[in-house]
Chain A
Amino acid sequence: MIQTAPITTVMRALADPTRRAVFEQIVLSKEITVVELTRASTVTQGAVSQHLKALKQAGLVAERPEGRNVYYRAEPEGLAPLVDWMSHYGTFWRERFADLRSLLKEIDP
């Protein structure tokens, strides 16, 4: 399993609105280059690169060099520190409801 960054690092990375917009753009595309990201953004390519660096350090984004291009993609594991607890309970309650259904069938056929 990939080592996840502490929750504060992830949060700091996503706290900046521009950086968050860059991240969301990456999430929405399967893979995207700096040039494409800059086109979709209101800031310069240099600024986008800086944001990418921060997102990479937070474990939210991974890169894949190919020829002269570098492709960026979102790393789902990067968000794990934020969603673990909640998704645990999402699964928990759905499973419990299934058990409740069986129990009710048994006690009230």
Chain B
Amino acid sequence: MTETALKAETQQIVVDEVFPHAPETIWKTLTTAELMGRWLMMPAGFEPVEGKHFTYQTTPAGAWAGTIHCEVLEVKPNERLSYAWKGGHADNAGYGSPLDTIVTFTLSRAEKGTRLRLVHSGFVLPKNETAYRKMGEGWKKVVMNIGALAGRED
């Protein structure tokens, strides 16, 4: 599988909201362990320093103990924070399956505060390589329709 094909077939989650606060205040909530623990999860060993390794503890699933292994990739105070987010186990399908992703927070000035954009990227769907290669363009459409189906199920 080529690198390009892999990129084209990975999916990302984007949450983008404006908060009525200064970037410096939001930055603190993204980079201070105690504050992170109050809205996200309490990290173990976190420091806003590139190359720093830390973990989050979440719900275990099967052979996976629920530990998210992270590594700080980029720190641009009050602008951008990015870290690797890895976990899961090959024996799991769905929740708890292998995950090799990147979480990026980007802050930018907005009219009434700060825009915080979260991109959680690198979700590889599916894991089966042969099937994966063949999925091609159809995949995007399938994923789009999954949203409609999930809505109908609620």
Binding site for B on A (CB under 8 A): 6-8, 10-12, 14-17, 20-21, 23-24, 27-28, 74, 76-77, 79-90, 93-94, 96-97, 99-104, 107-108
On whether the beta carbons of B131 and A20 are closer than 8 Å, the reply is no
Which residues B48-107 have CB closer than 8 A to chain A?
88, 93-97, 99
On whether the beta carbons of A87 and B145 are closer than 8 Å, the reply is no
Known: A11-B135, A85-B94, A100-B116. 15 other contacts (CB 8 A): A11-B127, A16-B134, A17-B138, A20-B142, A76-B152, A76-B153, A79-B149, A84-B95, A90-B13, A94-B15, A97-B118, A99-B40, A100-B39, A103-B29, A104-B25
On whether the beta carbons of A93 and B118 are closer than 8 Å, the reply is yes
On whether the beta carbons of B128 and A24 are closer than 8 Å, the reply is no
Q: How far is the CA of A21 from the CA of B138 in the complex (A)?
A: 8
B3 at the interface (CB under 8 A from A): no
Q: How far is the CA of A36 from the CA of B71 in the complex (A)?
A: 52
B6 at the interface (CB under 8 A from A): no
Residues of A with C-beta under 8 A to B22: 108
Kindly state the interface size class of chain B when it binds its partner. 35 or more
Q: How far is the CA of A20 from the CA of B141 in the complex (A)?
A: 10
On whether the beta carbons of B40 and A7 are closer than 8 Å, the reply is no
Residues of B with C-beta under 8 A to A107: 25, 29, 35
Binding site for A on B (CB under 8 A): 11, 13, 15, 17, 19, 21-22, 25-26, 29, 35, 38-40, 88, 93-97, 99, 116, 118, 120, 123, 125-128, 130-132, 134-136, 138, 141-143, 145-146, 148-150, 152-153
On whether the beta carbons of B21 and A104 are closer than 8 Å, the reply is yes
On whether the beta carbons of A17 and B13 are closer than 8 Å, the reply is no
* Shortest beta-carbon distance from A63 to chain B in Å: 17
Q: Which residue of A lies closest to B151 (CB)?
A: A76
On whether the beta carbons of B134 and A93 are closer than 8 Å, the reply is no
Residues of B with C-beta under 8 A to A23: 142
Q: How far is the CA of A10 from the CA of B152 in the complex (A)?
A: 21
Q: Which residue of B lies closest to A74 (CB)?
A: B149
26 contacts between A and B (CB under 8 A): A7-B127, A8-B126, A11-B132, A16-B134, A17-B136, A24-B145, A28-B145, A79-B142, A79-B146, A79-B149, A80-B94, A81-B93, A82-B126, A83-B94, A84-B93, A84-B97, A85-B94, A87-B150, A89-B13, A93-B13, A99-B38, A99-B40, A103-B29, A103-B38, A104-B19, A108-B21
